[in-house]
Chain A
Amino acid sequence: MSILELRNVQYSYDQKKNVLKNINAQMERGKFYAILGPSGCGKTTLLSLLGGLDSPSQGTILFDGQDIEKLGLAKHRKNNIAFIFQSYNLIDYLTPKENVALTSKLPPLPILQLVGLTTEEIKRNVLKLSGGQQQRVAIARALASDAKVILADEPTGNLDEKTAAEITSILKECAHQMQKCVIVVTHSSDLAKQADVVLQLKKGLLQEA
């Protein structure tokens, strides 16, 4: 059964040109999705709609069969969705442990260790961590929220090849071992190769590649 479903979703910025056109798709738990597409095609917008950061111009998005608008977008973001951003978006005055504890429903320490951070790194100021380490904290924060869906926007965009591979591997594990629905917007073909389902967004339409 799908955890997320898009029904006839359309989106336009100025009511004139539709960035997203009549999108229908279903996403399931335990799968790792990659959404590919050229810059400006609406990938991040689609991710925002799925995460309840914005509302579609037309159509509905269902989470576990329920319209997220009716659920309440803030509630949807809080209970069902976890975001991972390209620029990590960690709170700079909190330690990794405190960042994870922000919305944590699970103990933060084991999760931070699970994503590969050492005890010393866990106590350090987040700004003193490397990009890869910061992204691991962001992933740990997403996992700690116990959300069923993880939405990642270019999670490896700022990372070197080796670290990007490690992060991709962690995300894949999140989907397969933790039964999360992981949806990643990316330009990286390497990351896309790791995905269970690759979706192509082109001219406002979403198609399976």
Chain B
Amino acid sequence: MNCIKRAFLHDVRKAGKTLLLFSILLVIGILLLTCFSIRRGTQIAALNIRQSLKGSFSIDAKASDGQLTNEVLQNIRQMPGIKNYNGRSSSYAEYVSEDGAPLEVMTEGSFDVADGFEHAGKVVADSFSQQDELFTQFGFQLTEGRPIVDGNEHTAVIHQWLAARNNLNIGDTIQLRLNEQMLSEETTASGDVKNTVSVKIIGIFDSTRPQPETILLSHAFYQNTIFIDPKSFSELFPKNGSLYYETADFQVDDPETLDALIEQIQHTEDVAWENCAFTKHAADYEHAKGSLQTLEQLVTFLLFIILAVSAALLILILALWIRSRVHETGVYAAMGIGKGNILLQHLTEVCLIAICAFTLAAACSSGIAKFVGEHLLKQSAVPEFEVSHFTDAKQQNQAEEIVELTQMQIHVSAQDIVLVYSAGMLLILLSVSIAAIPVLRLKPKEILTKTN
């Protein structure tokens, strides 16, 4: 008779013991499944929250003399964990129509119109114009056409007022020009400055919020702002002959990875990073971090407690039972049944019960896990987070949305069940082995002497 059959017969005939062990393993199984599913639920919820918190960082490379090139930007973009990006540069230029006539700009309400800026405005170059802070925070909205996206060349998105005032439409071409005053201020400009660039209007925007009253000069007015592609900007303000950016913003998948990503970037040798300033924008995440960690730590702590208590309980009970079966062990040993075979029988007995207990636990854990998860969620008191978009939290008028950790998707998955079976079997292996050591160390004669 093999050990599996002996184990099966033992479990069936010793119904009282089997039922007791079944109950204990059922409770252990339910607790483990509950913890595993809540832990996974909190991890997913925490990741969702972190992703909603939209961590980002900026690189200010104004002092790097054009080292933040498009190639560098693309290399950073390829790094795992970077969600999206926007390269940005800005300056001022004079606006001229296709046939060379200066465009009329908004001057009404300005404190002063600077010399040489009578037909000028702010030129903003973006890889993705929709991701510019003016669009994400300051109420700019595209009303016609399309935005600028990475790879566009000689394109522009202009204000609705400027378009109407100068009778410009999508598809029209305008020129951006650096006049004498601007060239004299453009300290980095080299001798072969191409001071005129033609751009085609591909989109028209409107500003839905009033401009802060601190803006006094006409060329800084929203109405006089033109978004262009980085290629056009690099031609108008060339540095080292390549496409470059003054600043870049990178949105990350998970704010937790911000520091590691910045460190990784600083270890690349593309740019003299000491001339660049890195700024993290993760105030929301920092605010939420403590609460998220508390919940995860609470569940992990519970998991370890359950594992430790389960192991101790199992070892104790199995040790008592195996010791009470020393007589049986001696008889088997006298019959030439090896110690390994006897240990395997004990293991099989518990494993057979565990399979039934864990299967039942899997069937009834889902509701329990959900209930306990909701209770823990309340206990951990994770607050609501105000989430700002892809930008400096200090900015005013920022768009906000509320992210709440009031619900977790807790369900017992196949992965949790496999995990419980694995952890449970390991626990049983450990418990049975430890419990059986004192008996199995004895010689058969010693065992029989103890019992006869």
Contacts and interface: CB of A to CB of B under 8 A. Distances in A.
A55 B330 CA distance: 16
Contacts of B330: 89
A24 B245 CA distance: 102
A83 interface: yes
Nearest to A125: B13
Contacts, number: 67
A102 B335 contact: yes
B309 to A, nearest CB: 30
Interface string B62-88: 000000000000000000000000000
Interface stretch (A90-98, A183-191, A193-201): A90-98
Interface residues of B, number: 23
B9 A89 contact: no
B444 A89 contact: no
Of the candidates B14, B333, B336, B448, the one having the most CB atoms from chain A within 10 angstroms of its own CB is B336
- A-B pairs with lowest CB-CB distance, top 7: A78-B336, A77-B336, A93-B13, A53-B445, A54-B445, A89-B331, A53-B444
A93 B444 contact: no
A54 B332 CA distance: 15
B334 interface: yes
B445 A48 contact: yes
B399 interface: no
A17 B178 CA distance: 115
B334 A89 contact: yes
Interface in B299-341: 327-328, 330-338
Interface of A: 48, 51, 53-54, 74-79, 81-83, 85-87, 89-94, 98, 101-104, 145
A83 B334 contact: yes
Nearest to B11: A93
B173 to A, nearest CB: 96
B443 interface: yes
A47 to B, nearest CB: 10
Contacts of B337: 78, 102-103
B200 interface: no
Contacts of B331: 89-91
A83 B448 CA distance: 12
B444 A77 contact: yes
A85 B335 CA distance: 12
A136 B14 CA distance: 24
B281 to A, nearest CB: 69
7 contacts: A48-B448, A54-B444, A82-B335, A83-B335, A98-B9, A102-B6, A104-B1
Interface in B129-153: none
B169 to A, nearest CB: 94
B443 A75 contact: no
Nearest to B330: A89
B452 interface: yes
A89 B14 CA distance: 18
Contacts of A81: 336
A42 to B, nearest CB: 13
B280 interface: no
A193 B6 CA distance: 40
B10 interface: yes
Contact of B336 (A91, A92, A103): A103
Given A53-B444, A53-B448, A54-B445, A93 B336 contact: no
Contact of A91 (B328, B338, B448, B452): B328
